[in-house]
């Protein structure tokens, strides 16, 4: 099909159409040339659709090419110039993708959206990189707008030398770029007692994945000297909430980063411009935005966000404190409530796809169940498989038009296996909102509609 279109563009009918007058173009339906063109497209499209059906594994859409004006008729965008390269000097998505946005709900906000969260449209994404404009956003006092020329990073406490860096001075350190996800520890938490959102975006949209550029903190500490009694680091932001979190020194000296770049450009303001902390694999609340201060000490600081908030209430009534890594997890992104199978017919072949991730290592495999966890088959991992990053999985399925309970279960190379909801509840109860990684399940009805459910057996 591609070769046929190339021949047409280079030397035949298309060139003739381009050279006719506007009047003739508007009345071209009556010309023998246009009739010939439509006949050509009908034959070409019919052949191509037949070849597609024979060559591809997934072909649920049936096309009657000779009756489809999208194939046989010339469209306005093919008869006039598009806008010039000077039209928009910072690119934006097609207007036909206007529905692909972050979304918010009053249920997950302070009421005024200053301390709130905007959820990532996970089901509309491809690959493992989240575009910057869709990356989920969590803030505790609104988005700070900071002049980088007036911003400083201070490093002090149990170091041999206190340091204050401008942004230019910080960027003189050797930079690294790494792909990692960030996940709010409350991702999925609103459903700890049962299904609450008929939506993938609202049930699992508190996460995203990007390529981050910055400097390892351990490389800066080589210049400063770290005192042996330094066991903890406080990271504090300069926004009006002055978010502060304590991080153990082992993680700081492993892979913690100060980042200024995201997916090849500067951080967006809502992602902490000009710099933020990145603690790969650990809960997003630790990745302090609008970073202004790092202080090293021998004891944890017991900041508000690790005492009054971001603790896990156990069945005993006691809370777990200082727990960090996001556990192995997964979710099916297609089908889902936003992407049902209502257009499929019995016998159609379709791809089941989703995301898996682990803050404790690299995803090693994903299993799928069609009956809510009684029986399992192994899915295929596709694309890049990286530590502490999203991993895509896929399974080719022949649609049978019957009820299903679709569940995914991930495992990582550290030996962790995603628990069922029942196993999770037996371990930590139902009161804790954070770090819920029990398997998620979609109920697929006979008509292809998809509902959010929980399997407790």
Residue 321 resides in a domain = no
Residue 106 resides in a domain = yes
Domain boundary among 255, 281, 310: 310
User: DSSP secondary-structure letter at 407?
Assistant: E
Domain of 173: which CATH number? 3.90.420.10
Same domain, 7 and 66: yes
pLDDT score at 249: 98
Residue 315 resides in a domain = no
Same domain, 285 and 348: no
pLDDT score at 22: 37
Residue 322 resides in a domain = no
Tell me which residue has tokens 């082992």: 250
Residue 90 resides in a domain = no
Same domain, 258 and 371: no
Same domain, 217 and 172: yes
Q: Which residue has the higher pLDDT, 114 or 11?
A: 114
Q: What percent of the chain has pLDDT over 70?
A: 85
Residue 305 resides in a domain = yes
On the CB side of 63, CA atoms within 13 Å amount to 21
Domain boundary among 310, 339, 371: 310
Q: 205 lies in which domain range? A: 101-310
Kindly give, in sequence order, each residue whose CB lies less than 8 Å from that of residue 244, ignoring residues fewer than 6 positions away.
Answer: 234, 235, 236, 237, 288, 301, 303, 304, 305
Same domain, 252 and 383: no
Q: State whether the Cα torsion 181-295-322-255 is positive or negative.
A: positive
Is it true that the peptide bond before 338 is cis, omega within 30 degrees of 0?
Answer: no
- Cα gap 132→147, rounded to integer Å: 20
pLDDT(220) > 70 = yes
pLDDT score at 427: 87
Residue 370 resides in a domain = yes
Residue 306 resides in a domain = yes
391 pLDDT tier (thresholds 50, 70, 90): very high
Same domain, 29 and 136: no
Same domain, 291 and 403: no
pLDDT score at 345: 96
Rg for the chain, CA atoms, rounded: 27
Same domain, 29 and 135: no
Same domain, 292 and 239: yes
Into how many domains does the chain fold? 3
- Cα gap 353→27, rounded to integer Å: 47
Mean pLDDT of the chain: 87
Same domain, 360 and 394: yes
170 pLDDT tier (thresholds 50, 70, 90): very high
pLDDT score at 97: 94
Domain of 386: which CATH number? 2.60.40.650
User: Model pTM?
Assistant: 0.86
Same domain, 150 and 207: yes
Same domain, 66 and 107: no
In this predicted model, what pLDDT tens digit does every residue of 323-341 receive, in sequence order? 899 999 999 999 999 999 9
Domain boundary among 310, 340, 360: 310
């Amino acid at each position: 099909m591609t070769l046929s279109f190339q021949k047409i563009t280079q030397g035949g009918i298309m060139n003739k159409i381009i050279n006719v007058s506007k009047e003739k173009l508007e009345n071209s339906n009556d010309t023998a040339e246009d009739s010939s063109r439509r006949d050509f497209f009908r034959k070409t499209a019919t052949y191509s659709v037949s070849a597609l059906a024979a060559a591809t594994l997934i072909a649920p859409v049936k096309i009657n090419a000779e009756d489809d004006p999208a194939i046989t008729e010339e469209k306005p965008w093919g008869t006039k110039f598009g806008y010039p390269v000077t039209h928009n000097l910072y690119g934006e998505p097609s207007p036909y993708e206007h529905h692909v946005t972050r979304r918010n709900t009053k249920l997950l906000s302070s009421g005024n959206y200053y301390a709130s969260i905007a959820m990532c449209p996970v089901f509309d994404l491809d690959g493992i990189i989240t575009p910057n404009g869709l990356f989920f956003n969590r803030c505790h006092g609104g988005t700070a707008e900071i002049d980088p020329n007036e911003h400083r990073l201070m490093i002090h406490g149990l170091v041999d030398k206190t340091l204050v860096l401008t942004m230019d001075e910080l960027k003189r350190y050797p930079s690294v770029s790494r792909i990692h996800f960030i996940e709010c520890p409350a991702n999925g938490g609103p459903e700890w007692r049962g299904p609450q959102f008929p939506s993938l975006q609202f049930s699992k949209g508190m996460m995203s994945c990007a390529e981050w550029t910055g400097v390892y903190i351990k490389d800066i500490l080589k210049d400063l000297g770290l005192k042996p009694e330094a066991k903890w680091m406080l990271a504090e932001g300069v926004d009006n909430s002055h978010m502060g979190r304590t991080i153990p020194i082992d993680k700081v000296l492993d892979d913690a980063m100060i980042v200024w770049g995201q997916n090849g450009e500067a951080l967006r303001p809502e992602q902490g411009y000009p710099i933020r902390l990145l603690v790969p694999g650990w809960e997003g609340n630790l990745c302090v935005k609008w970073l202004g201060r790092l202080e090293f000490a021998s004891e944890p600081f017991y900041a508000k966000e690790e005492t009054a908030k971001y603790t896990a209430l156990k069945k005993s009534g006691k809370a777990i404190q200082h727990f960090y890594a996001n556990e192995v997890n997964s979710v099916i992104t297609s089908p889902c409530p936003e992407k049902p199978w209502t257009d499929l017919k019995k016998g159609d072949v379709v791809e089941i796809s989703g995301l898996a991730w682990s803050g404790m290592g690299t995803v090693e495999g994903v299993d799928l169940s069609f009956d809510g966890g009684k029986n399992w088959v192994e899915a295929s991992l596709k694309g890049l498989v990286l530590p502490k990053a999203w991993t895509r999985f896929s399974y080719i399925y022949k649609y049978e038009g019957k009820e299903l309970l679709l569940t995914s279960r991930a495992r990582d190379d550290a030996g962790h296996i995603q628990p069922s909801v029942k196993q999770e509840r037996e371990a930590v109860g139902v009161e804790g909102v954070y770090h819920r990684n029990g398997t998620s399940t979609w109920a697929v009805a006979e008509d292809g509609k998809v509902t959010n459910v929980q399997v407790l057996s």
